[in-house]
């Protein structure tokens, strides 16, 4: 199961716009790759970011994201907030990570 | 769905604070399952939005002309439109849909992700503004496939 590793998150605020760069650790095995490697297909299916309980970013993803997917997004927000990034995978694994907005 | 989420949470790392998933979240894999198995971009778009009529304006799609490594292709989508969702498709892999972003109220459409493509194909980004689709597409040449190729 534990395909989902640690995520690295950087959140920086500039003039009221927070830019988040995040990199998750996950092999992102598509069905084809999994068949070759004789493993079960597994990939991140849903990523959501919240600040103080408010959703600021959300994406449903497929197997065609790169291995160890990287993403960048922006939203309106100030310094000091706490960003929560939660991820879910096809095999039902769930993890969430937090980072302070700098 | 909620129950499954709840069980899954227990398995996660204990040290990190947990947030329940479905706050106002829309998981497109649950609500539009057909779109994720569609093999053609048009079919996936139809499953997701109910139409394939798009206007080619207002959306900026950035992707390399030639990708040496199909396993890591940086793609970014930005738009000043007040879109509700943003979808990324491509026609090189067995299934067409790559990702569907939900734009929260007042959200900024400026997303970058890295995707993989098996062979040369066209990446299409669609921004949904109140049921009207705006799109941009770009041909990406892949010299080395990244999808088990």
We report the CATH number of the domain holding residue B80 as 2.60.40.2470
In this complex, the residue of B17, B76, B104 whose CB is nearest that of residue A55 is B104
pLDDT higher than 50, residue B83: yes
Residue A94: predicted pLDDT? 83
Query: Does any CB of chain A come closer than 8 Å to the CB of residue B121?
Result: no
Residue B114 lies in a domain: yes
Residues of chain A with pLDDT under 70: 1-2
Instruction: Residue A49: give the domain boundaries.
Output: 8-91
For tokens 């980072």, name the residue: A99
**Minimum Cα–Cα distance from B93: chain A residue:** A64
Residue B1 lies in a domain: no
Q: What is the CATH number of the domain that holds A71?
A: 2.60.40.10
Q: Residue range B21-39: average pLDDT?
A: 66
Residue A47 lies in a domain: yes
Instruction: Residue B41: give the domain boundaries.
Output: 33-142
Per-residue pLDDT reduced to its tens digit, B43-66: 888 888 888 788 888 888 888 888
Residue B22 lies in a domain: no
**Minimum Cα–Cα distance from B18: chain A residue:** A96
Residue B2 lies in a domain: no
Predicted structure pTM score: 0.80
The domain tally of chain A equals: 1
Residue A43 lies in a domain: yes
H-run or E-run covering A8: strand A8-14
Residue B25 lies in a domain: no
Instruction: Say if the ipTM goes beyond 0.90.
Output: no
Residue B148 lies in a domain: no
The domain tally of chain B equals: 1
Q: DSSP string covering A20-80, please? A: EEEE-----B-HHHHHHHTS--B-EEEEEEEETTEEEEEEEE-TTBPSS-EEEEEEE--TT
- Contact list in B for residue A36 (CB cut-off 8 A) is 148
């Amino acid at each position: 199961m534990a395909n989902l590793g640690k995520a690295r998150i950087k959140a920086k605020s500039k003039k009221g716009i927070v830019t988040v760069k995040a990199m998750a650790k996950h092999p992102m095995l598509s069905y084809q790759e999994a068949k070759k490697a004789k493993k079960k297909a597994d990939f991140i299916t849903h990523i959501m970011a919240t600040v103080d309980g408010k959703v600021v970013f959300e994406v449903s993803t497929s197997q065609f994201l790169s291995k160890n997917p990287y993403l960048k997004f922006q939203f309106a927000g100030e310094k000091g907030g706490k960003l929560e990034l939660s991820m879910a995978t096809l095999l039902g694994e769930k993890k969430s990570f937090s980072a302070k907005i700098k | 769905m909620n129950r499954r989420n709840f069980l899954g949470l227990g398995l996660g790392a204990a040290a990190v604070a947990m947030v329940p998933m479905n706050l106002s979240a829309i998981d497109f894999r649950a609500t539009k399952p057909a779109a994720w198995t569609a093999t053609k971009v048009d079919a996936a778009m139809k499953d997701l939005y109910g139409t394939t009529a798009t206007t080619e304006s207002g959306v900026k799609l950035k992707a390399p002309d030639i990708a040496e490594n199909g396993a890591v292709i940086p793609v970014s989508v930005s738009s000043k439109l007040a879109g509700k969702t943003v979808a990324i498709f491509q026609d090189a892999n067995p299934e067409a849909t790559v990702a569907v972003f939900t734009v929260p109220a007042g959200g900024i459409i400026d997303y970058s992700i890295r995707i993989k493509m098996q062979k040369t194909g066209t990446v299409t980004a669609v921004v949904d503004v109140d049921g009207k689709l705006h799109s941009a597409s770009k041909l990406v040449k892949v010299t080395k496939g990244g999808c088990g190729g």
